Structure 1
Amino acid sequence: MWATTSLIALALALAADAFAVALCQGAAPGAGMSRALRVGTAFGAAQATMPMIGWIAGLGFLAIMRSLDHWIVLFLLGFLGLRMIREAAGCDPETPRGALAGWALAGAAVATSLDALAAGVTLPTLELPVLLACAVIGAATFLLCTGGVLAGRIASRHVGKYAELAGGLVLIGLGLKIFVEHQFLGA
């Protein structure tokens, strides 16, 4: 029972960053079920894969990753946030704004799942099969992110470009938060 509760709490905690990005994606024009499923799949797959990599790599690789992950997150989320802010300002009304696709979507998925890489080292402490833990983490992220895009779409109807602007600021803030925690607070 304790292991199951811990796994669910871990899955929800690891999905929080991805959920914030998904909300921002829902705020971008043209968000619908297709984007929700694409974002949910990308983030869910990254969140399911990274703990497995962390578990396999063990503590040797973790030390290297911990020294770099906050820089990678700061750069990727900062870049994506600035892009959303610029697009919210309406630089080109003909270009769909804010929708992550291709490498940008993959980059955001990886950036928000770097903490799952470190969490992968701790998976044996849950005393559950590692594949099951990775599947639960991925499924929780998929569900939260798919719902996050749809929730962001509903919110954007009421607040329009302000939701996209706020989404960009949230991404930058999230990158800064992770950077400060890892660089200065030893997280």
Structure 2
Amino acid sequence: MNVHWDASMGAGQLLTLLIMAIALGMDAFSLGVGIGMRGIRLRRIALLSTIIALFHMLMPLLGMFAGQYVSGLLGDVATHAAGVLLLLLGGHMVYNSFRGGGESAKIVNHSSLWGMLIFAFSVSIDSFSVGVSLGMFALDVMLTVLMFGLAGGLMSVLGLMLGRSASRTLGDYGEACGGIILLTFGLLFVF
């Protein structure tokens, strides 16, 4: 794999990577809206978005290195695992919104480091699958992972901010709406 800037990289290849980075970041955006609806502080948005950006860099990098070994099997397995995780998180959010339980009743607290890591992993697992595919091509690895990380981080900030704004309007129903969004994406990944 090519790990340095390649000046001969064509505009078409660069545009393709940009589109892929934005597409992968859309998961972070959409799911960020769901998490943002629960209510989230600006400091947590910055921290969560940074973690997501790092995962969006690490996962495709790991995928690129694994690409030549497991490309056929891993794409479906990774997508299904992400879907099941999102179904669990979304179902738990919807359950808690109707139950009216406090923070101690929540299994996954998105304001905790563990909750942020689970969320970042769930929105970046597709990046691993894409990395597996990209691992078969001669790409500029550093540019690729930086583009994926930047797009994932920026898209998550936008989604979290949008969800945060919507939560003020929706009030108590924000968590239920966020859970429904997570459930929907989980179903899309599983089926």
Question: Which aligned runs of 4 or more in structure 1 are off by greater than 4 angstroms?
Answer: 93-99, 124-128
Structure 1 residue 137, shift from structure 2 partner = 0.6
Aligned to 1:15: 25
Structure 1, unaligned runs of 5 or more: 181-187
Choose which of 115, 118, 121 in structure 2 pairs with 1:110: 121
TM-score (norm 1): 0.85
Q: Distance in 1 between matches of 2:131 and 2:176?
A: 34
Structure 1 residue 161, shift from structure 2 partner = 2.5
CA contact (8 A) 2:37 2:178 kept: yes
Q: Distance in 2 between matches of 1:27 and 1:95?
A: 19
Choose which of 28, 34, 38 in structure 1 pairs with 2:38: 28
Q: Distance in 1 between matches of 2:157 and 2:105?
A: 20
SS of residue paired to 1:169: helix
CA contact (8 A) 2:59 2:127 kept: yes
Structure 1 residue 92, shift from structure 2 partner = 2.2
User: Counterparts in 2 of 1:81-96, with a 5 A limit?
Assistant: 81-93=90-102
Aligned length in residues: 179
Q: Distance in 2 between matches of 1:125 and 1:72?
A: 23
Structure 2, unaligned runs of 5 or more: 1-10
User: Counterparts in 2 of 1:30-179, with a 5 A limit?
Assistant: 31-93=40-102, 99-100=109-110, 101-123=112-134, 128-179=139-190
Superposed CA RMSD: 2.3
TM-score (norm 2): 0.83
Q: Which amino acid aligns with 2:116?
A: L
CA contact (8 A) 1:124 1:130 kept: no
Structure 1 residue 134, shift from structure 2 partner = 0.4
Q: Distance in 2 between matches of 1:27 and 1:78?
A: 17
Q: Distance in 2 between matches of 1:178 and 1:73?
A: 7
Q: Which amino acid aligns with 1:105?
A: M
* Shift in alpha-carbon separation, 1:124–1:75, aligned structure 2, 3 A: closer
Q: Which amino acid aligns with 2:29?
A: F
Aligned to 2:13: 3
CA offsets per residue over residues 30-71 of structure 1, 9 Å max, x none? x12111112211211111111111111123223342342233
